[in-house]
Structure formats: C-alpha cells, structure tokens
Amino acid sequence: MTSKELSLVGLALALPVATVLALPRLPALGPPRPVTSAGDTFPASPLRFERQPLPVANEEKQLPLVTNVQVVDLDGDGTAEVLACDALGHRVVRFDRAGDRWKDSTLVDLVSYPAHVTAVDIDGDGDQDLVVSSLGDIMPSDAVIGRVILFEKRGDGYERHLLLDDVRRVADVQPGDFDGDGDVDLAVAVFGYSRGEVLWLENRGDFVFADHVLLSGPGAIHVPVADYDGDGDLDIATIMSQDLEELWGFENRGNGSFRRTMLWRTPNYDMGSAGLVASDLDQDGDVDLILPVGDNLEDYDAFPQPYHGCLWFENEGGWQFVERRIATLGGTYAAAVDDLDGDGDRDVVLASMTNDWTNPANASLVWLENDGKQSFRTWQIDNDPIHLVTVAAGDIDGDGRPDVVAGGLNLRRPYQRIGGTTAWLNRGLAGRGSTGGEMAGGETAGGATGRGPQAGAIPAASAPASDAGGAR
C-alpha cells in the first residue's frame, strides 16, 4: 500500500471522527425567527399639540406615580389650574402657569396613595374644598386601609377631616345632593381588591356623614354622578372591574333611596375596565357613559390585548345603554371628553398605560375625532411619556382651546420615557385660530387604583401581589 493510499484510508477513518468532534462546536448561523410584536400606532394628529412637562422638584431623579389629574379653576379667578395626585409623595399638587413655565405647590399632604381629588364646596361657604380618595396602598391589597379625607378650605390652607375609614382602598369620590336636602352628599367607590363596595355618604352637617351601601363587591373604579334618567335628580353609575366586569346604575328614587340596575356586563373578565366618564357624547340631551378598557396589570409584564380600547354606552332612555366600540388601543387606561377641534361635537382623548412599549412608535396618547355622527377616527398625539393612567382636558393656557393633561404611573418596566404630569397644549389645526373650546375642564376618567396581576391605576386591580407593582 502506497503512502497516498494510506492517507486515503486515514482520511476515511478520520473524517467521521472529526465531524463528530467538531459538530458541537459549530455556531448556530441560521436566522432567528421573526418575533411577534403588537401594540397600536396611529397617524399623526392633524391637530397640533405642544408637549410641556409640568415638573415637580427633583423629578428627573424620580419614578413618578401620578394617579389622577384634573383641570379646574380652583380659586375662581377665571384661570384653570392643574391638580395632580402624587402617590409617590402622598400629596396633592397644584400647578399654576406663570408665563411659559409651570410652578408646583403642595396643596395637601400625608394622604396615603391618593387616587383621586375632587374640588367641591362641601360646606357651602363659597370656596372650593378638596375631597381626596386614599387608596392606602397602590399595590393590590385587601387590607382595610382606604379613607375619604376632606380638606376644608380655611384661609390660605386646608383643615383635614376624616370622613370615612374602616374601609378598603378608596378609588373615587364624587359629589351630589342625592337626598334633595340642599347639601352636598358623596358617592364613594371602594375599589378594595378581593372585597370592596360602592357607598353614598349622606351629609348630616358639621362634616358628619352617614354611610349607605349601594353595592358590595370589589373593583369599583369611578362613580360618575349625573341625571342619567332625566328625572331631575342625581343618579350614580360605576364600573366594577376586579373579578367581574360590570357596569351598574343607581337610580335615585328620592329621599336617599336608590334602585340599582346592572347596565352591562361582559363574560370577558379580562376586559380590563379602567375608568368611567359621564358625558353626552352624541349631544342628544341625555348623559352617556364612556368606558376605557385595557387594564391588564395582573401580569408582571402587561401586553396589549385585542379588546383593549374604548366603549361608548349610548343612553337610550329608561336605563337602557347600548354598547358601541369607538376605539382600539392597547392598554387604554383613561379617557377624557372635550371638543378638541372646535367643530361643535365631542371628541375623546385616550391614554395608554400598557401599549407594547418595545416599539417606540406605539401611542401613549391619542384623540378620537368625532365626525359629528359619532363615527370616530383615531389620531396619535404622542408616544412619550409612556405608562399614562389618567387624562384630563381643559383650557390651561387661556387660548380658548381645550388642552390635554395626563399623568404617568411608573410602576412597571420599561423605565424609559418617564413622565409625571405632562400637558399637551392644543395649537389648533394648521392655519386656524381659536377653536372656541370651553374654559373649564372636560369630562374625565382614569387614575391609578393598583389592580395588579391585577393592580387599576386603579389600584392596579390585578397586579402580582408580591413585587411586580401595580395597583388593581
């Protein structure tokens, strides 16, 4: 056998051995498969908005937890201010516009995780008091830690009155004279976690209130008050969103007596109702309800679902409300209503907490343009900041156009594009002047309640109870 032949034999023996030895060391060079992404992006708004952060001191070092924003003329001077519930600082902050800048001041403090602030003259002395809903914990909790605290306006400051405790996490309080005796009573949403309730508090004078249970069950986010049946007295509505997803109406029967009716429910318990706004969206003379849906804080890392967005419940009279979907937006958490483009109909602003933030183009704030026949087109206002859980509309720069204010709840990844309270000043359509919007704030809903794998800015109704963060 020649040496060449020997080499061939050696090669024949070595090749399989070498291959077997080499195979595990070979790198993977095949392309990775495409990865599913989702979330919603929309065409840029033809209405121009100028983003303007409303910062508090040291905000650049913080992870702000803004659970509620309001546009109100608190001091009656004809200029609207912005109020924000700062759950990180356990306080209510007021922002005043001074030229092109904003100045922040603490209105009230030592409120454990404020979820909502309502300005109302509760004692009839001509100034605006503050009623604050205190969650007690922004993370999912069934503990009895909620409160309703009234801050009575006294001179330059506020005097604290505890109106309700020994209840679970309180997400919202709204005023109204429910028993027709001329004073201001309160509707209360005790969100809780596994347990909760809806109450009304009868004003008996001298800051004493008697509690009346309207409904037991967890997950009441908001309690918008309006005359839904047009009979001249004030009724209450609420959305229950923790274990079940139910829309309730409480018909005022006079003298503080209510009859409750389930107006709507869905078998999709994962729908993620996140707030409730009362507004006559179609301007037919009765009050409709607008429901932002998209709370899925039950997951450590929430992701948009196809049913997230906004539902409009058209009031057809006799406590009949017809459901209509007017938008799809992943992680929708809050809604506000106003005539943004000044064309005489009512538009809607939506804020998203959990769109798919891995795509930086996805929307965190959109508005729905009403064509006058309640057919809506979605326009993107911004993609920054993200994690928005509360939104309000109103003219805050005095130009006659309704602006938008939103708040961010930075409880979850990604900790990017972080914002606290942010305004978007409405600069109108290109080449147009004032749209003649109303001076006062529009109708709003949204806020953090911590549902958590569950927690709802609202108290993230559904967050993982341990460490993920998130109120329901």
Partner 1 sequence: MSPAFRRFLAITLAIEVALCGWLVVQRLQRPRAAIPAAFPDDPLLAGEFAALAKRAENGGADDWLFLGESLVGQGCYGHAEQAFERALELDPLSIEAVYGLAFAIDRTGRVAESTVQYQRCLDTPDDPRSPQSKKPFALFAIGKNHLRLGDVAAAEAAFRRNEGFVPAMYQLALILYHTSRPKEAAALLARLLQQVPLSLELHQLRARVMEQLGEPAEQFAAAAMAERSAHLIESYFGTEFVRPFNHRHGFKPVLEAYASRKASGPPAAMEAELAAIEDLVRDRRIPQRFMALFMRAERALATGRPEVALEAVRQIAAGGDASGSRLLVEAAARQMQGDADAARALRERAETLQPSVLGQRGLADACDREGDAAGRDRHRAKEHFLAAMAAYRSNKLEPALELLKKSAALVPDDATTWFHIGEMEYHLGRRDAADEAFRKALELRPGYGRARDSLDRRAP
Site for partner 1 in 284-313 (CB under 8 A): 298-301, 303-307
d(CA 76, CA 92): 19
Distance in angstroms (rounded) separating the CA atoms of residues 118 and 147 = 14
Indicate the residue among 18 and 44 with the shorter CB distance to partner 1: 18
Structure tokens at 424: 């978007």
Q: For residue 471, which phi and psi values (nearest 5 degrees)?
A: -75, -130
Cα–Cα distance, 227 to 69 (Å, whole number): 24
In sequence order, the 6+-apart residues with CB closer than 8 A to the CB of 458 are 115, 171, 191, 221, 241, 274, 275, 295, 389, 447, 448, 449, 450, 451, 471, 472
User: Which alpha helices (DSSP H) does 339-452 contain, by range?
Assistant: none
**Contact, 308 vs 293, CB < 8 A?**
yes
Find the binder of partner 1 among 3, 61, 78, 430 (CB under 8 A).
61
> Minimal distance in Å, beta carbon 153 to partner 1?
20
Q: Does 91 bind partner 1 (CB under 8 A)?
A: yes
Q: Which residues within the stretch 435-464 sit at the binding site for partner 1 (CB under 8 A)?
A: 453-454, 462, 464
Q: Which is nearer to partner 1, 357 or 424 (CB)?
A: 357
Q: Which of 313, 318, 323, 320 is nearest to 229 (CA)?
A: 318
Angle 88-167-71 from CA coordinates, rounded to 5°: 45
Give the residue with the Cβ less far from partner 1, 88 or 393. Answer: 88
Contact between 29 and partner 1 by CB under 8 A: the answer reads yes
Distance of alpha carbon 237 from its chain centroid, rounded? 17
Q: Say if residues 330 and 336 touch (Cβ distance below 8 Å).
A: no
Sign of CA dihedral 63, 306, 238, 265: negative
* Residue 78 makes contact with partner 1 by CB under 8 A: no
| Minimum CB distance to partner 1, residue 397 (Å) | 26
Element (H, E) at 90: none
Residue 417 binding partner 1, by CB under 8 A: no
Site for partner 1 in 114-143 (CB under 8 A): 136
Under 8 Å between Cβ of 385 and 418 = yes
Of the candidate spans 56-64, 277-285, 286-294, 369-377, the one that interacts with partner 1 by CB under 8 A turns out to be 56-64
Stretch that binds partner 1, among 151-159, 382-390, 410-418, 435-443 (CB under 8 A): 410-418
Question: Which CB sits closer to partner 1, 90 or 377?
Answer: 90
Q: Which is nearer to partner 1, 428 or 453 (CB)?
A: 453
36 binds partner 1 (CB under 8 A): yes
Nearer to partner 1, 91 or 222 (CB): 91
The answer to whether 244 contacts partner 1 (rule: CB under 8 A) is yes
Residue 298 or residue 443: which is nearer to partner 1 going by CB? 298
Region for residue 237 given its phi and psi (left: phi exceeds 0; alpha: psi -120 to 50; beta: otherwise): beta
The count of chain residues that interact with partner 1, using the rule CB under 8 A, is 91
The bridge status of strand 129-134 relative to strand 114-120 is antiparallel
Which residues 145-164 are close enough to bind partner 1 by CB under 8 A?
145
Of 259 and 432, nearer to partner 1 (C-beta) is 259
The residues with which 158 forms a beta bridge, in sequence order, are 153
Q: Which of 284, 416, 432, 434 binds partner 1 (CB under 8 A)?
A: 416
Give the contact letters, 365-394, x = binds to partner 1 (CB under 8 A), - = no. ------------------------------
Tell me which of 266, 324, 374, 427 binds partner 1, using CB under 8 A: 266
Provide the minimum distance between the beta carbon of 249 and partner 1 in the complex, in angstroms, as a whole number: 17
Binds partner 1 (CB under 8 A): choice among 73, 128, 207, 212: 212
Nearest approach in angstroms of CB 267 to partner 1 is 5
* Residue of 257, 320, 434, 466 interacting with partner 1 (CB under 8 A): 466
Which pair of tokens denotes residue 314? 């058209």
> Closest separation between CB of residue 243 and partner 1, Å?
6
Q: How far is the CB of 173 from partner 1 (least distance, A)?
A: 16
Between 154 and 415, whose beta carbon lies closer to partner 1?
A: 415
Q: 29 or 430: whose CB is closer to partner 1?
A: 29
Q: How is the beta sheet containing 47-54 ordered, strand by strand?
A: 47-54, 421-429, 403-408, 388-394
Cβ-based nearer residue to partner 1, 330 or 402: 330
Q: Give the residue with the Cβ less far from partner 1, 217 or 456.
A: 217
Q: For residues 43 and 234, what is the distance between their CA atoms, to the nearest angstrom?
A: 40
3 is a site residue for partner 1 (CB under 8 A): no
Distance CA 302, CA 331 (A): 8
- Which of 193, 150, 257 minimizes the C-alpha distance to 449? 193
Residues 181 to 210 in contact with partner 1, rule: CB under 8 A: 194-195, 199, 202, 204, 208-210
Hey, what are 469's tokens? Answer: 């963060």
| Interacting residue with partner 1 among 255, 268, 320, 434 (CB under 8 A) | 268
Return the closest-CA partner of residue 196 out of 175, 209, 184, 213: 213
